[in-house]
Amino acid sequence: MPSSPSAAQRPTVADREVFANVDPNSDDRTQIVAPVTNINDEVPPNERQPGKAEASEATASPTSPPYSSFSLRQKYLIIALASISATFSGFASNIYFPAIPTIARSLGTTESNINLTVTSYMVFQAISPTFWGAISDVYGRRLTLLCTFVVFLSACIGLALSSHFYQLIILRCLQSSGSASTIAIGAGMIGDITTREERGGYMGVFQAGLLAPLSIGPILGGIFADTLGWRSIFWFLAIYSGVYLVILALFLPETLRSIVGNGSIPPYKQAKAPFEKLVANRDVRSATSETGKKKKKLKIDFVAPIRILFEKEVLFVLLFLSIHYAAWQMTLTIQSSLFSKIYGLGEIDLGLTFIANGVGCMVGTLTTGKYILDKDYKKYKRKYANSNGEQSQEEDFPIEKIRMRTLWIWAPLQWISVIIFGWTIDKHQHISIPIIFSFFLAWSAMSIQSIITTFLVDIFPKQSASATAALNLARCLVGALATGVINPSIDRIGIGWSFTLWTGLMMASIALVGVQFKYGAGWRKKREQREKSKIGGNDA
């Protein structure tokens, strides 16, 4: 067990907002100077006393507390819990695909109608994180995540018992509302405990766990549908989520910086985990009382993700990501139907065809996160510091170009993969060819997603859950559009030309990255200056 912070490093509860306001992207740790005051430990999250971080070199102390008090082991435990939580989003979506033909026959409807349940799932996958993410940015990650699992568990039980097509659509929407938000909340937790220098690697670990279901899920779905019936898919998800809900309730610590500071401040009673001492270095001696202070109530900002979505410095790159994500989801949704009709595969064999996609996802997130994003950042940050010396400002560092410079590699790889996937199926070529290119499609798609997700958390460190929800909103709405139109498009113009059409749209969207590279840094600086001016006006 790591030792607790020394007395010189030990922050008080009044530092909650000090830590929350510290920029995790800055190398200057002198900005973390805690005011000495007393405040009630059991302060509810909507009544936090806003603090003020000082940046004066004169008042800096060499014993200032670290950005995060969580040990390396504890960080990996937290990220593992967040990552496993996020697997439910992938499982709920992808375990379903091989069973689509079977479910259509069982409910006496068409495969196109069952594909609409995928579209409705993605619509709520887009919308729900804006609700849960905003709540988690105020009331904390722990309680919000537990609530989402209760919703998910209830929906899975209902789906296992459903007997009509309309019930399937409604309950899939509810299931999506519970599972999709785990991604935004998990990304928020990573933003809470990591700095920009290490974030890419941790984000890669998080997304690798998140994407494991993309390879495992369809196999399990095919086996369940072929042996126990399609309802067993949802009973499996219900049991899995019920067991994991208990694990989260026992071990997941609160990480939101406005509640626990750098992790050393005990949270309010309702946010404490029963096994808190095993997963966090809380300092109970920093919990003292204060009377006579008026607490400022923090409001839940439900429109924060929408506001972030339309910020100029991220809008263009989010549109680029959404178009590429939609192409990927479109291929996943239609793959079962095409392989079943053209190659005559059964449920288990259909599930096996998704392995390449899942492996590509994991390779993409791991290599892009640890070996590209982290190393790139450190390399160019060092060069920038050497060139600009002490005169350099963090806001002047070209984070847009550093984080996204490899998009020029991954985007063309996805274009090639999509068009080959479509035309080889159209011409009834050997099934190994589209399966192989589904690997490269997933690798490139997930590399693009990892890059842009990490970039969003970089520039919105205090609203990381809401920023991730904004990304999710954009990509899932466009993805829902793509999955909704692919069947009618294939019926009208054929498989090959449908995929060619979307490839052309992806190629055109690369211009959006050019806009981001040229103007993004300037737009970001203006927004940061507006925020600083607003804070200064409020403090005056």
Cα Rg for the chain, rounded, in angstroms?
24
In eight-state DSSP terms, residue 369 is I
262 in any annotated domain:
no
Query: Which stretches of 140-272 are DSSP H helices?
Result: 141-161, 165-179, 181-193, 196-211, 213-227, 231-251, 257-260
The residue type of 428 is H
**How many structural domains does the chain have?**
1
Query: Please, what is the Cα angle at 489 between 502 and 340, to 5 degrees?
Result: 100
Count helices and strands (H / E) in the chain: 22, 0
- Which pLDDT score is estimated for 33? 37
Cα–chain center distance at 475: 12
User: Domain for residue 58, yes or no?
Assistant: no
Cα separation values, 42 from 21, 49, 139, 233, Å: 21, 12, 13, 42
Alpha helices in 344-431 (DSSP H): 347-352, 355-366, 375-388, 399-404, 407-426
Q: What is the DSSP string of 450-476?
A: HHHHHHHHHH-GGGHHHHHHHHHHHHH
* Domain annotation covers residue 320: yes
Domain region containing 92: 72-254+300-385+401-530
User: What tokens were used for 98?
Assistant: 């091989």
Cα-Cα-Cα-Cα dihedral sign, residues 64, 65, 67, 72? positive
List, for residues 125-173, the tens digit of each pLDDT value.
888 888 888 888 888 899 999 999 999 999 999 999 988 888 999 999 9
Domain harbouring 157, CATH code: 1.20.1250.20
C-alpha 469 chain-centroid distance: 7
At 168, list the tokens: 């399937």
Distance spanning both ends of the chain, measured CA to CA: 44
Residue 406's identity, in one-letter code, is: T
How high is the pLDDT of residue 146? 94
Alpha-carbon gap, residue 3 to 283, rounded angstroms: 11
Q: Which two tokens stand for residue 296?
A: 């400022």
320 φ, ψ (degrees, to nearest 5): -60, -50
Q: pLDDT value at position 165?
A: 86
Specify if 287 maps to a domain: no
Asked if 134 and 301 touch (Cβ cutoff 8 Å), the reply is yes
* Domain presence at residue 461: yes
Return the pLDDT at 64: 66
Q: What is the pLDDT along the chain (540 residues), one digit of tens a residue?
A: 444 444 444 444 444 444 445 554 444 433 433 333 333 344 444 444 433 333 333 333 455 677 788 888 888 889 889 888 988 887 888 888 788 888 888 888 887 788 788 888 888 888 888 888 888 888 889 999 999 999 999 999 999 998 888 899 999 999 999 988 888 888 888 888 888 777 767 777 777 666 667 678 888 888 898 889 999 999 999 999 999 999 999 999 998 888 888 888 888 777 788 887 787 777 655 554 333 344 455 677 778 888 888 888 889 999 999 999 999 988 988 888 899 889 988 878 888 888 898 888 878 877 776 666 667 777 777 777 777 665 555 666 777 777 888 888 999 999 999 999 999 999 999 999 999 999 999 999 988 988 888 888 788 877 777 787 788 888 888 988 888 888 889 989 999 999 999 999 999 999 999 898 888 888 888 887 777 776 555 554
pLDDT in tens, 49-73: 433 333 333 333 455 677 788 888 8
Tell me if residue 403 falls in helix, strand or coil: helix
Give the dihedral sign, CA 374/376/381/383: positive
CA distances from 114 to 167, 223, 337, 340 (A): 12, 19, 11, 15
Assess if residue 197 is contained within a domain.
yes
- Give domain status of residue 76, yes or no: yes
What DSSP designation does 5 have? P
* CA 191/CA 346 separation, integer angstroms: 43
d(CA 237, CA 320) in angstroms, rounded, equals 33
Q: Is residue 9 part of a domain?
A: no
